[in-house]
Amino acid sequence: GIQVEQSPPDLILQEGANSTLRCNFSDSVNNLQWFHQNPWGQLINLFYIPSGTKQNGRLSATTVATERYSLLYISSSQTTDSGVYFCAVEAASGTYKYIFGTGTRLKVLA
């Protein structure tokens, strides 16, 4: 089945710093989402981005489907950005289900 790897596994930033999180996948995909899991365990949608670039405030994401990766950019990080970031993909072979990546644990220090 499709493999999804995220990097880095852990990241510590000072408030105000910028960061880039990466998601690599081993096969073609139909769908891709980025999620933020906050310290209370809630999975929050960030982007639905099977291809192209999207921006939402301080966050933006780019998926290059032909090269099998997606990037999540966080600018001017805040302490509330802390948590775990997951990407999830649906393989183009039509499994109709998401496979989640390994996650990036982010801690933003005040």
Partner 1 sequence: EAGVAQSPRYKIIEKRQSVAFWCNPISGHATLYWYQQILGQGPKLLIQFQNNGVVDDSQLPKDRFSAERLKGVDSTLKIQPAKLEDSAVYLCASSSGPSVNEQFFGPGTRLTVL
Give the distance from CA 5 to its chain's centroid: 10
22, 24, 26, 43: which one contacts partner 1 (CB under 8 A)? 43
User: Counting contacts by CB under 8 A, is residue 56 touching partner 1?
Assistant: no
103 scored as a contact of partner 1 (CB under 8 A): yes
Which of residues 21, 23, 25, 35 is near partner 1 by CB under 8 A? Answer: 35
Cβ proximity to partner 1, 14 vs 45, nearer residue = 45
Mark residue 46 as left, alpha or beta (left: phi above 0; alpha: psi -120 to 50; beta: remaining): alpha
Q: Which of 8, 20, 28, 48 is in the footprint of partner 1 by CB under 8 A?
A: 48
Strand order of the β-sheet with 4-7 is: 4-7, 19-25, 69-74, 59-64, 52-56
Residue in 28, 95, 107, 109 binding partner 1, rule: CB under 8 A:
95
Q: Please give the span between the terminal C-alpha atoms of the chain, in angstroms, as a whole number.
A: 41
Q: Which candidate, 83, 51, 87, 80, places its Cα nearest to that of 67?
A: 51
Note whether 102 binds partner 1 by CB under 8 A. Answer: yes
Tokens for 64?
């290059």
96 lines the binding site for partner 1 (CB under 8 A): yes
Residues that bind partner 1 (CB under 8 A): 30-31, 33, 35, 40-45, 48, 86, 88, 90, 95-98, 100-103
